[in-house]
Amino acid sequence: MKLSDFDFSLPSSQIAQFPAAQRTASRLLHLHRQGGGREDRRFTDLPQLLRAGDLLVFNDTRVIPARLLGVKASGGRVEVVIDRLLPDNRVLAQVRASKSPKPGNKLLLEEVLEVTALGREGEMFLLQFATPEPLLPLLERHGRLPLPPYIERDPGTDDRDRYQTVYARQPGAVAAPTAGLHFDEPMLALLASQGVEMTHVTLHVGAGTFSPVRSEDITAHSLHKEWVEVSAATSQAVQRARQRGGRVIAVGTTSVRSLETAARASGEVQPFTGDTQLFIYPGYRFQAVDGLVTNFHLPKSSLLMLVCAFGGYGPVMDAYRHAVAQQYRFFSYGDAMLIF
């Protein structure tokens, strides 16, 4: 398939700039892969669509304040978005400046953080922070929330809470696993009371999640590395769901990629810790996931390609056109889709 196959027209007015008043107040488009049927629902209908014995798999990564503004030694302005924390207070980061920093160049971020550019790794820059203090608490004090580029406003006080899932606990992401933003504590409690089991994976979403697919031949595209952990407890939860006839339902594309990465070696989900660059597009054979809760994604994005692989190219693209016509809200703070 070609990149242009995944294009669609979206009015800018349907790109959600703010979250819904309550987490569960979004709409839910229920897509039936077989036959391409669909139903317009509310996200609060989700408990009716799940059954006892199903397993929901959430990504428990936590967004860190990874955006830093500053100046180069020459005085030019610079914006740094950290992609990955590395040992010894080094980071991989996106750097935006009129001229890219060269190895040895100094940066002063947020007026207090001294940084040296060490070199490049692809599109990312390797940076060294001068401080011996651990970076996470430093970022919590001085960093800014890295809202997606299509949210055309500065972060507000509410975003620190709402651009974070209620179950986020492992810091390291620079973008939220947004399908999980629709869940609140009462819904999680209701699902548990109905016999729906829940477990977690961790995939630290990197800044590369917003990088466009540039090749018309999508097979020539490669994803940035992202760190994944699938625990033994999660592997066992998947096995129990299979044994009792339950469905394994990934909440978000990051949970899909985590589970499918962990299943690649043997065909079954096994404990896994390490990097993944798994790029899923139509033709992929899923081994771990039976259902998907996901938001609506950007045209021509790798995330849309994953959803098309799972739900079928024709049904998903038809559903997207329906969602546009029905005024669904798109992207991170937008509405949701459910596919089995």
Token pair of 165 as six digits: 């899932």
Phi and psi at 232, nearest 5°, equal -60, -35
> Could you report the per-residue pLDDT of 56-99, keeping only the tens digit for each?
999 999 999 999 999 999 899 999 999 999 999 999 999 999 99
> Could you report the per-residue pLDDT of 16-68, keeping only the tens digit for each?
999 999 999 999 999 997 777 899 999 999 999 999 999 999 999 999 999 99
Q: Are 165 and 181 in contact (CB under 8 A)?
A: yes
> Could you report the per-residue pLDDT of 101-159, keeping only the tens digit for each?
999 999 999 999 999 999 999 889 999 999 999 999 999 999 999 999 999 999 998 99
Q: Which pLDDT score is estimated for 211?
A: 82
The closest alpha carbon to 311, from 332, 282, 335, 287, belongs to 282
> Could you report the per-residue pLDDT of 164-219, keeping only the tens digit for each?
999 999 999 999 999 999 999 999 999 999 999 999 999 999 987 888 899 999 99
Q: Which pLDDT score is estimated for 270?
A: 98
Ordered domains of the chain (ranges, CATH): 3-63+159-339 (3.40.1780.10), 67-142 (2.40.10)
Residue 39 forms beta bridges with which residues? 30
The closest alpha carbon to 297, from 267, 238, 256, 248, belongs to 256
